[in-house]
Chain A
Amino acid sequence: MTTPTQTLRIDRVPGVLIAQKPRGAEILIEALVHEGVESIFGYPGGAVLHIYDELWRARDRITHYLVRHEQGAVHMAEGYARASGRVGVALVTSGPGATNAMTGIANAYMDSTPIVVITGQVPTPLIGTDAFQEVDTVGITRSCVKHNYLVRDVRDLAPIVHEAFHLARSGRPGPVVIDIPKDVSAAQASYSRFKNITFPCVERSSMPDPSVVRRAVDAILKAERPVLYVGGGIVNSGAADALRSLAEELQLPVTPTLMGLGGFPSAHSLCLNMLGMHGTYAANMAVAESDLLIAIGVRFDDRVTGKLATFAPHARVIHIDIDPANVGKNRAPDISLIADARAALEALHSEIASRQSERLEAVKRRDQWWTTIRAWQREQPLRFSGSREQIKPQSVIRELHRLTRGNALIVTDVGQHQMWAAQFYPFSRARQWITSGGLGAMGFGVPAGIGAQLARPDQLVVAVVGDGGFQMTNQELIVAVQYELPVKVLIMNNGYLGMVRQWQEMFYDRTYSEVDLSVSPDFVKLAQAYGALGIRATRPEELEDVLTAGLSHKGVAVIDVVVAKEENVFPIVPAGGNSRDMIVSQS
């Protein structure tokens, strides 16, 4: 049984005195300031005029970044949130503003990113009349938000904003939408900034159950062929250190998902690197042969499991996740622990610490398993054939890694370049890797890179994109230029929608249906038109110099690298297959 109400305490924050009876728009701004919001990505319109009016007055406290398309605003908020661990905020108008924001909202939902999206709405008396720029925003966003609100009364506005932030960042993080009708942002109400706010939402425990922790440790200590399968939950809960100490203490092999990259150092000797459709041979084989899968902050996504019935067929499963609905959704676990990943890992760690002799025994037994894994790694390492004629896309990522000393914050779009970046750029820290995983939304790269750069001005941010995805949101380059956010955009330009072309080559008899992008704008000139540096490499011998020039440029740079046109991503487990069906290289 759960408690019916929870009290969220809002502590008093010193700030500017506000009018006796502020407008809704002012209440919104005050509540955002309360939540520590410093940056908003947005685009104005009729229904949010009051809010923009107030935002202008508050411009010394909150900086607004004017995007060029609302999808860009939400992706920037996501990039900001994922790079910083804070809640990202986007502000858009009603109707087309809200529908343009949808892709970003769905993306944040799939990848558990904490963002709050504020949408304008037509005035309450007009709701339901098919008014100008009216859409049912709470209706169309319902299935891809943690929660959403239509604010009907200005007196509810402040509590709703505070609850929205609480929901976005608590438990399994995600997007929350607040739809504010124009008359509500104009209406006046008193706003007491230090009142306790009560809301009926239910908080569920995220502390691990000690008896389950003991059973999990029993299983881990007894296992012959254990594998840690870890995902975005590690990054979201700040569990990277706890994961590393557990893995090291027990000499456990670790395989991160696409979303988990950076949650465990890629170059660590225990790391098998990514598993799944484009995972390493060793990672997929280890999971296939494993007798215990320790799954943390993952959801057994189809791009990881392939055919579920034959995924890790010999393994017992310990599933640790903060979202109970993830546990047992695709694979029924033998032991399930509903908890925050970090809290769970720390609990496992302290239980193991009290069982030292068993631990040493387990580590000793691990030798044979590691011998097998090392053989897989030697047998089929990630590899590609070099070329003196063309630039190989994998070599671009290798070179990027070398020139940035492995320190760049890598943001990607979706497609082949994304998989090559995941495979060939070894990550050393959490939040060093930001990508569109679950939704696979092309167009994510450039705006998310801009958001990440704002959150981390101290880091070199490289948005690795394809020539397809770049053209979906390249208009946002001007935002980077305008606000001096010196993101580097690296286009892996193969003149194709490469991933679709690869599938057409492999599974559709090389029928290249509508994937030819050879007619594209000149990306160098395009960059220059935006006031950014634009440079191009077409020959392998140019690559190092061009990358160096682009990466060391002080401002925004677009590096157009013309790569081999028909390179494929390997290994590949065809959709619905399993590790037996894995194709490791071009036949």
Chain B
Amino acid sequence: MRHTLSIVVADQPGELSRIVGLFSARGFNIETLSVGQTNDSSWSRVTVVTCGDDRTIEQIVKQCERLARVREVHDVTRQPHIEREMALIDVAATPGEMRQEVLSLVGVFRAKVVDISQTGMIIEASGNKEKVEAFIELLRPIGIRDITRTGCIAIGRLSPVRTTNVVDEDEIFVEQAG
């Protein structure tokens, strides 16, 4: 099963490689990884999406917690939370019908055109993994030249309700698109 781990670690040189090294040394898998400062600039948040059964995930969490500079590790998967990732997609959409098709997909997915030329467009899309992937699949027949994805970031919901009970605009989009 896919799990999203949120790891708060001191913002010091080498700390990220400690976490990444731990994953590779113990044979754990990293699906996506993203890092940035938290509200307090001396601490960074590392969001790792990983796969494994419950025992593997438990072991990953405990191993991360052993690191001296790691302050907290949460498996946010089972808590009410919001996940997002961003993709920059270079689409070979030339002026005309192709470009119109891309623009209409951009509208449906609430994506953004951030660059344009005679030969193509760069689209910025964000949402949960499923939405971003559905969008990419729809763009594929038009011709994708390059993609850069950020990997997942996550934050806990403000209200203690279960995610599935909350209207999530991204889920609606996936249904429409897929």
What 0/1 pattern do residues 65 to 104 of B give for CB contact below 8 A with A? Answer: 1111111100000000000000000000000000000000
B14 is an interface residue with CB less than 8 A from chain A: yes
Which residues of A467-493 are within 8 A (CB) of B?
none
The answer to whether A202 touches B71 (Cβ under 8 A) is: yes
| Residues A142 and B68 in contact in the complex (CB < 8 Å), given A325-B62, A328-B59, A329-B59 | no
Shortest Cβ distance from A123 into chain B, in angstroms? 17
The A interface is mostly helix, strand or loop, or mixed, namely loop
A-chain residues with CB within 8 Å of residue B22 when the two chains form the complex = 143
| Residues A200 and B21 in contact in the complex (CB < 8 Å), given A138-B14, A328-B59 | no
The answer to whether A143 touches B10 (Cβ under 8 A) is: no
Query: How far apart are the CA atoms of A305 and B52 in the complex, in Å?
Result: 24
Which among B17, B68, B69 is the interface contact of A139 at CB below 8 angstroms? B17
A-chain residues with CB within 8 Å of residue B67 when the two chains form the complex = 147
Chain B minimum-CB-distance residue to A171: B66
Chain A minimum-CB-distance residue to B11: A200
Query: How far apart are the CA atoms of A138 and B68 in the complex, in Å?
Result: 14
Which among B18, B25, B68, B70 is the interface contact of A167 at CB below 8 angstroms? B68
| Residues A325 and B68 in contact in the complex (CB < 8 Å), given A138-B14, A139-B17, A150-B14 | no
Most buried by A among B58, B66, B69: B66
What 0/1 pattern do residues 477 to 511 of A give for CB contact below 8 A with B? Answer: 00000000000000000000000000000000000
The answer to whether B21 touches A143 (Cβ under 8 A) is: yes
The answer to whether A146 touches B68 (Cβ under 8 A) is: yes
A324 is an interface residue with CB less than 8 A from chain B: yes
Q: A2-B72, A328-B59, A332-B55 are in contact. List 7 more A-B contacts (CB 8 A).
A: A147-B68, A147-B69, A150-B13, A150-B14, A167-B68, A325-B63, A325-B65
Which among B14, B25, B63, B69 is the interface contact of A200 at CB below 8 angstroms? B69
Give the contact-size bracket for chain B. Answer: 20 to 34
Shortest Cβ distance from A324 into chain B, in angstroms? 5
B-chain residues with CB within 8 Å of residue A16 when the two chains form the complex = none
The answer to whether B71 touches A325 (Cβ under 8 A) is: no
Chain B minimum-CB-distance residue to A152: B13
B-chain residues with CB within 8 Å of residue A142 when the two chains form the complex = 17-18, 21
Chain B minimum-CB-distance residue to A138: B14
Query: How far apart are the CA atoms of A332 and B55 in the complex, in Å?
Result: 8
The answer to whether B70 touches A202 (Cβ under 8 A) is: yes
Query: How far apart are the CA atoms of A323 and B65 in the complex, in Å?
Result: 10
Shortest Cβ distance from B110 into chain A, in angstroms? 35
A1 is an interface residue with CB less than 8 A from chain B: yes
A15 is an interface residue with CB less than 8 A from chain B: no
A125 is an interface residue with CB less than 8 A from chain B: no
Which residues of B43-68 are within 8 A (CB) of A?
55, 58-59, 62-63, 65-68
Query: How far apart are the CA atoms of A167 and B66 in the complex, in Å?
Result: 11
The answer to whether A325 touches B59 (Cβ under 8 A) is: yes
Query: How far apart are the CA atoms of A329 and B13 in the complex, in Å?
Result: 29
The answer to whether B58 touches A328 (Cβ under 8 A) is: yes
Query: How far apart are the CA atoms of A2 and B25 in the complex, in Å?
Result: 26
A-chain residues with CB within 8 Å of residue B68 when the two chains form the complex = 146-147, 167, 201-202
The answer to whether B72 touches A323 (Cβ under 8 A) is: no
* 23 CB < 8 A contacts A-B: A2-B72, A138-B14, A142-B17, A142-B21, A143-B21, A143-B22, A143-B25, A147-B67, A147-B68, A150-B14, A152-B13, A167-B68, A200-B69, A200-B71, A201-B69, A202-B68, A324-B62, A324-B66, A325-B59, A328-B55, A328-B59, A328-B62, A329-B59
